[in-house]
Amino acid sequence: MSRPSLHRPPVWTLVVITAVIAIAAAAVILEVNDGICMSARISTAGVVPLSRSLDTVGPLARSVHDVAAVLGAIDDRQSLIGAQKHGMSARRKFGWQLAIATVAAVILYLPDPWGLGLHHVYIPFVGRYSIGLLYVPIAILTIVGMSNGVNLSDGLDSLAGGLTAIAFVAIGVIAYQQGQLGVVTLSFTMVGALLGFLWFNAHPAQVFMGDTGALALGATMAVAAFMTGQWLLLPIVGFVFVAETFSVILQVLYARRTGGKRIFRMAPLHHHFELQEGWSETQVTIRFWIFGMMAGLVGTALALL
């Protein structure tokens, strides 16, 4: 969801953001194709192993990122240009997100050489278990959910960008412990691109993420988590995104059942703290970052146990 502002971001800022992140993602492909990941070895901590086709990591992540970014760019363009300026309809956007997530989930599930051959869940303190074909719908829902979670968090300057960078750091650390250099390269390349973006997105923002960045980053984050096999920890690592999403869901459901009454002053959750608690935009952002850091530390610790 784009940040409410009297100053609409010019189209070129969205193009620049998309180009920067797309170039960063392309760097992952070069690293993978150079064979960096071919010597990767998974730790013996019961983590889900990748298939031998580690060269699939880069193309899959890049494809999910780029296609989701194009979807977001179309939505942003429709929001900025035209008579209605309402953006893409929620139903159409959700349909495209489902299509993107379905293709990604199938590639994650299919065996080598068509995919990564992933079908396990790793439960901290317990071990890993194969869940078979159930892996696919779970991956679809997670990719769509995380994509929308980042999008809903994109309502204040630097909020979504900082939280996404924190989450990618956690995923990168988990992947490094496993020896998955392809996922490590992907994660920290995203972190680097986000730090560059945050320089200009700091309050008062000069550029905005929009759906172009939010949908792409959320979907890519989910795909990276599934590549590590630690996807069950993604709701912890991305706790703030989950909270933002559920605040909207609860607000809508409660309003429908009570004839318009609300649980929160305003959803997503960050706006509630602005209105109810009187926090400034910067206070909300920094405090949500703190929650994101704590969640990332907890998720990383659980993955390394």
Percent of the chain with pLDDT over 70: 80
CA distance 58 to 62: 6
* pLDDT of res. 84: 61
- Most confident of the ranges 47-51, 75-79, 169-173, 301-305: 169-173
When pLDDT is averaged across residues 21-40 and rounded to a whole number, the result is 41
Which uninterrupted H or E stretch holds 109? helix 90-109
CA distance 229 to 34: 24
Do 197 and 20 contact (CB within 8 A), yes or no?
yes
Residue 19, pLDDT > 70, answer no
* pLDDT of res. 175: 92
CA distance 253 to 176: 41
Residue 21, pLDDT > 90, answer no
Residue 20 phi/psi, 5-degree rounding, is -65, -50
CA dist 251 → 139, 183, 266 (Å): 25, 36, 8
pLDDT in tens, 69-96: 999 999 998 888 865 667 788 899 999 9
* Higher-pLDDT residue of 10, 234: 234
What value does the mean pLDDT of the chain take?
83
pLDDT in tens, 170-224: 999 999 988 888 899 999 999 999 999 999 999 998 998 999 999 999 999 999 9
Sorting pLDDT into bands at 50, 70 and 90, what band is 25?
very low
> Cβ neighbours of residue 154 under 8 Å, at least 6 residues apart?
1, 2, 3, 160, 208, 209, 210, 213, 214
Do 289 and 162 contact (CB within 8 A), yes or no?
yes
